[in-house]
Amino acid sequence: MPSFRYITLTREGVYYVIVLAFIIGGAVLREVNLLVILAGLMIGPLLFSWRWAAVSLANLSVKRRLPSSSAAGDPLIVEYELTNHRRRLTSYAVVVSDTLHRMEPRAADPPAIAQAMVPAARPESSATTSCRYLITRRGRYTFGPLRVSTRFPLGLVMSSEPLDVTDTLIVCPRIGRLTRKWEQWIDADRAGSQRNSPRRGLTEGEYYGLREWRAGDSQRWIHWRTSARLNELAVRQFEEQRNGDVAILLDLWLPEHPTDGALGNVEVAVSLAATAVVDLSRRGNNRLTVAVHATQREQWSAPASTAFCQDILERLAVVSGSAEDRLSESLAGVLRETPPGTRLIVFSTRTVDIDRMLSEVETAAGHSQVALGRAVWIDVTRDDLPSLFVLE
C-alpha cells in the first residue's frame, strides 16, 4: 500500500511565519522598502526548507531487526537499518519512530512510542541506529508501523512518512532465582530416582505397610482400624517409585473481580513456573510435562531440552488467569497422561485443601491418587515464598 508524505510546520516554523506575516503586513501598510526586502529574505529559507523536506524522504526504506528472544525486565536492543536508494541526495537527521503495543494478554495500556535518529544516510548506502527498550511485562508485542521524519536543515518544516513495517516479539516471563531450598529438594529427588531398589515412602508407589502418623500427613492415608486398635494414629506406607520425570501444573485462578494484588499473584506464579522449567531443563530430567489451568486447559510434554524450555517460555508468555475452577479436572488430566512415578509440582495462586482435592479427582489409573498425595503444592500467596523463590 503506498504511503503518504506529510509536510507540516514545526513550532519554530509557526513562530517564524507569524513574524513574517507581521513584517509583510507592516511593509504593505507603511510602504517601507526595507521591510519588503526583509520579508523577501525571510521567505527564501522557508521555501528552501519546504522544498528540501519534500524530497529528503523519497526512496527511503527501513528494516527492523529484533532479537530472537527476550524476557520481561531484560534490556531489549532493537536495530533499525535505514537505506537510501537515491543516487545523489543525502538524507540528514532522519528520525525513525516506532510504535510498541502489547497484544496478549490484553491490556488497556496505550501504545508506547520510541525514537532513534540516523545522522546521515548517503546515496545508495545504509546506516544503522538502535533503540533501547525496557519491557517489564510478559506477553506478545507488536512493533509498528514505522514513521520516518526529518526537520533538516533549519527546523522550520517537518517532513514525515509512515512505513507499513510490522513485527511481532514474544516477551517471555521474568526469570527469578530459586533458593538453596529448591536445589536441595530437587537434588534429593533426583538422587532417589537413581536408586534401583525401592524405598519406603509416605504416599508413594504400592502399599507397603503401616507407620505412626506425623505432622503433615494426609488424613486420607490413615488406617482407622489399626489406629483404633493401637489407640494412636497410623498411616499407610508405600513403596517409592520414581522415574525422574517431573510434571508442573500451573493453576492461575483469579476471582471474578480481581484486584491488583490478585493480578500480581498470577505474574508471580507464571514467573515461578518459568524459572522452574529453566532449572529442570538445565538439570536434564528425563521428561518434563507442563500443564496450565487458566482460561483453558493446556498441556505440553517432551524430553527436557533447551528447545522445549524455550517453547514453554513462549507459551507461558501469553497465558492469563481465569475465574473458572476446574483444578480437579486439570489434575486428573495430568495424572492420566503421565507415567507412574512422575513427580508432580503444583504452583497455585490460591490455598488449596489437598484432602478435598484428593476426593474430587477422578482416578484414571491406580497410581493417580498416590501421585497426587506426594505432589508438592506451592501457594504463591504465602508469606514464606521468598524462602523458595526470589523475583528481583
Tell me the DSSP string of 249-291.
EEE-B--SS--HHHHHHHHHHHHHHHHHHHHHHHHT-S-EEEE
SS3 195: coil
| Helix (H), strand (E) at residue 237 | strand 234-240
Q: What is the pLDDT of residues 155-177, one digit of tens each?
A: 999 999 999 999 999 999 999 99
Report residue 372's pLDDT band, with 50, 70 and 90 as the boundaries: low
pLDDT at site 197:
36
Same fold for the pair 1-172 and 177-198+241-390: no
DSSP 296: S
Question: Cα(16)–Cα(113) distance, rounded to whole angstroms?
Answer: 28
Averaged pLDDT score across all residues of the chain? 83
| Whether 312 contacts 348, CB under 8 Å | no
Q: How far apart are CA 15 and CA 12, in angstroms?
A: 5
CA dist 325 and 270 (Å) reads: 18
- pLDDT of 287 over the 70 cut: yes
Average pLDDT over residues 278-290: 83
pLDDT of residue 209: 65
24-40: average pLDDT = 88
Q: What pLDDT score does 189 carry? A: 57
> Which range has the worst mean pLDDT, 89-98, 105-114, 161-170?
105-114
Q: In angstroms, rounded to a whole number, what is the distance separating the alpha carbons of residues 375 and 176?
A: 22
Q: What is the pLDDT of residue 83?
A: 94
Closest CA to 50 of 9, 102, 108, 15: 9
Closest-CA residue to 91 (of 68, 116, 120, 61):
120
How far apart, in whole angstroms, are the C-alpha atoms of residue 47 and residue 385? Answer: 67
Residue 190 has pLDDT above 80, yes or no: no
For 45-69, what is the mean pLDDT? 90
Q: How confident is the model at residue 217 (pLDDT cuts 50, 70, 90)?
A: low
234-258: average pLDDT: 77
Q: How is domain 177-198+241-390 classified at the CATH fold level?
A: Rossmann fold (3.40.50)
Compare 241 and 274 and report the one with higher pLDDT.
274
Residues 179 and 220: their CA atoms lie apart, in Å, by 31
In which band, very low, low, confident or very high, does the pLDDT at 120 lie, cut at 50, 70 and 90?
A: very high
pLDDT of amino acid 184: 74
The whole-number pLDDT of residue 198 equals 37
The answer, yes or no, to whether residue 51 has pLDDT greater than 50, is: yes
Question: Do the strands 146-150 and 157-163 form a parallel or antiparallel pair, or are they unpaired?
Answer: antiparallel
Whether 188 shows a pLDDT value over 70: the answer reads no
Nearest 5°: phi and psi at 86?
A: -75, 160
Q: Please give the radius of gyration of the chain, using alpha carbons only, rounded to the nearest integer.
A: 32
Task: Find which of 54-68, 106-120, 196-210, 347-361 is predicted with most confidence, using mean pLDDT.
Answer: 54-68
Give yes or no for residue 137 having a pLDDT over 80. Answer: yes
Q: Which residues, listed in sequence order, are joined to residue 142 by a DSSP beta bridge?
A: 101, 168
Decide which of 132 and 366 is more confident.
132
Contact status, residue 88 vs residue 123, Cβ threshold 8 Å: yes
Q: Is residue 380 pLDDT above 60, yes or no? A: yes
CATH number for the segment(s) 1-172: 2.60.40.10
Task: Name the most confidently modeled range: 223-232, 316-325, 329-338, 368-377.
Answer: 316-325
Q: Taking 70 as the threshold, does the pLDDT of residue 368 lie above it?
A: no
pLDDT given for residue 31 in this prediction: 82
- Every domain of the chain and the residues it spans: 1-172, 177-198+241-390, 206-238
pLDDT at 78: 95
The secondary element (H helix, E strand) that includes residue 18 is helix 11-30
The residue ranking higher by pLDDT, 189 or 29, is 29
Q: Which residues contact 147 (CB under 8 A, 6 or more apart)?
A: 96, 97, 98, 160, 161, 162, 163
pLDDT for position 331:
82
Mean pLDDT of the region 292-301? 85
Percent of the chain predicted with pLDDT > 70: 84
How far apart CA 244 and CA 285 sit, in angstroms, is 6
Mean pLDDT of all residues in 229-249 = 73
